[in-house]
Amino acid sequence: MVIEARTGVLDLCRRAIQLAEADGATQAEALVQRSDQQLTRFANSEVHQNVAEVDTTVSLRFVDGKRIGVASTNRTDDASLRRLAESAARICRVQPEQPDFGGLPEPGAEPVTAVAGASSPSTVEATPERRAEGARAAISAADAAGVLAYGSYRTVTEHVAVANSLGIACEEERSLGHVVIVAMGPDGEAGYAEAAAVDIDDLDPGALGREAAAKAATSRGAVAIEPGDYPVVLEEYAVVDLLDMLGYLGFSALAVQEGRSFFEPGKRIGSDLVTIRDDPADPEGTPATFDYEGVTKKPITLVDRGICREVVYDAQTASREGRRSTGHGLPAPNPWGPFPLNQIMDAGDTPRDALVEGLERGLLVTRFHYTNVVHPKLAMITGMTRDGLFLVEAGRIVGPVRNLRFTQSYLEALARVEAVGRDRRLLRGFLGSVVVPAIRISAFTFTGATEH
């Protein structure tokens, strides 16, 4: 796999590999990430900070037989790259052998075509003034609703290059814009809105500000309700947590190989309405051609109409089963294994209003907060609601309620999905990007109340 260098980062990879081979590496891999990150923050309805960071990191994986050492640096002159190779070599030679190490990945037999839409000029060229204008639009919406706006507007441009001594050599520019807004009122009422996009022209901070402000304004005077099992509508911000947790706990080949995953091929874990894919080429997500080992990213169906189908592999987990990586490797050293970084849940055919109208008595949940794993094989999660929880009766929102704590198997939640929204959002999760609809679940277990 060869994609020619355009910015010099692939040349850095090749130079690091040459130095590793000169120090006796039997195989070597270099990953270069050149990033330009800029962030505009606002609080108390005022822009208070603009920060920017430009950095280039070179990570070298040095292989000597079955021993592996990894070192990194953000200095790219020849002397620093020599020290990088020397450090990786020293680390390698004091490591124990890895008996099941299958070697670095080799180039695929098929020519590689770069995916479209990984980067956008509007995002790459974004200025502090552009982000400040977005913040001003969000703040104006909060002002109109009598609440304060807090949040950030971030733009990121990254050049990623991977090469190894077996012939892999690839480079790609990727970009992302991300807006997060929390609106808060004088009595602690709060609302939330978020959006991500490869092209910041697709972001509307003013609309997000109005969404968060309206949610905060309608959260005033929240009352307490008893914990228990309630039908719920989870907005997209809550659904992200479901997919993130399931990807983290179960859709990794390493989790399956170590016997800690809920995943079994053919096992039903969701209703017929639930289909989840990992698709790095889908333009609704954040397209990417290759992973951090330089392997072409394959689209993977994780759950097909409620049934477990596939998991994702990196080079090491794939070699254990005599197969090729699916292109889900993370930067070395990586004790966590592969993860799905481009999860997408298929849309349904239910209009957003109809999701709520289908509740006789239940709750509308904006998002989850501080979620933690209780039992990985059951995907049992504990956490709390945040930034807008509402009681629904006879298909209508009747008022705000105080946040609730929950302990719930996310597998059981998927099995109880009875309606899926037809609209979706691109959001950021802790594993990567996630494209999700809102969903209605017939029962969700809330185990305790909070003070607010």
Q: DSSP labels for 124-168? A: HT--HHHHHHHHHHHHHHHHHHT-EEEEEEEEEEEEEEEEETTS-
Q: Identify whether the C-beta of residue 245 lies closer than 8 Å to the C-beta of residue 389.
A: no
- pLDDT (average), residues 397-403: 97
Answer whether residue 86 shows pLDDT above 90.
Answer: yes
DSSP H or E stretch at residue 435: strand 433-449
- pLDDT (average), residues 408-437: 97
pLDDT at 365: 98
Answer whether residue 2 shows pLDDT above 70.
Answer: no
- pLDDT (average), residues 432-452: 93
Length of the chain in terms of residues written? 452
pLDDT at 112: 79
* Lowest mean pLDDT, pick from 4-18, 80-94, 238-252: 4-18
Q: Read off the pLDDT band of 452 (50, 70, 90).
A: low
Residues of the chain above pLDDT 90, percent: 96
Write down the residue that tokens 């947790």 correspond to.
Answer: 245
pLDDT at 109: 73
Tokens of 358: 């289908």
In this structure, what DSSP letter does residue 341 have?
Answer: S
Q: DSSP labels for 62-127? A: EEETTEEEEEEES--SHHHHHHHHHHHHHHHHTSPP-TT---SPPPPSSPP-PPS-S--HHHHT--
Q: Read off the pLDDT band of 7 (50, 70, 90).
A: low
Distances (CA, A) of 244 to 19, 276, 304, 416: 39, 11, 17, 18
Q: Helix, strand, or coil here: 35?
A: strand
Answer whether residue 16 shows pLDDT above 50.
Answer: yes
Query: Rounded to an integer, what distance in angstroms lies between the CA atom of residue 24 and that of residue 67?
Result: 12
Query: Rounded to an integer, what distance in angstroms lies between the CA atom of residue 169 and that of residue 163?
Result: 4
Distances (CA, A) of 219 to 6, 286, 404: 51, 33, 14
Q: Is the peptide bond before 333 cis (omega within 30 degrees of 0)?
A: yes
Query: Rounded to an integer, what distance in angstroms lies between the CA atom of residue 290 and that of residue 296?
Result: 4
Answer whether residue 387 shows pLDDT above 70.
Answer: yes
Delineate the domains of the chain, giving CATH numbers in brackets. Answer: 9-215 (3.30.2290.10), 221-449 (no CATH)
- pLDDT (average), residues 249-265: 97
- pLDDT (average), residues 344-373: 97
Answer whether residue 335 shows pLDDT above 60.
Answer: yes
| Average pLDDT value for the chain | 96
Write down the residue that tokens 């096992």 correspond to.
Answer: 267
- pLDDT (average), residues 154-173: 97
pLDDT at 451: 72
Tokens of 18: 């040459």
Sheet bearing 27-43, strands edge to edge: 67-73, 46-64, 27-43, 148-164, 169-184, 190-197
Q: Identify whether the C-beta of residue 432 lies closer than 8 Å to the C-beta of residue 339.
A: yes
* pTM attached to this predicted model: 0.95
- pLDDT (average), residues 410-424: 98
In this structure, what DSSP letter does residue 362 have?
Answer: E
The 3-class secondary structure across 251-274, one letter per residue, is: CEHHHHHCCCCCCCCCCECCCCCC
Chain mean position to CA 157: 16
Answer whether residue 5 shows pLDDT above 50.
Answer: no
Distances (CA, A) of 329 to 160, 267, 273: 14, 25, 29
- pLDDT (average), residues 136-150: 98
Q: Read off the pLDDT band of 110 (50, 70, 90).
A: confident
pLDDT at 4: 41
Gap between the terminal Cα atoms of the chain: 54
Nearest residue to 64 (alpha-carbon basis) of 104, 31, 106, 12:
104
Residues of the chain above pLDDT 70, percent: 98
Answer whether residue 122 shows pLDDT above 80.
Answer: yes
What pLDDT, in 10s, does the model give residues 275-319?
999 999 999 999 999 999 999 999 999 999 999 999 999 999 999
- pLDDT (average), residues 362-386: 98
What pLDDT, in 10s, does the model give residues 190-221?
999 999 999 999 999 999 999 999 999 999 99
pLDDT at 1: 40
Query: Rounded to an integer, what distance in angstroms lies between the CA atom of residue 345 and that of residue 43?
Result: 33
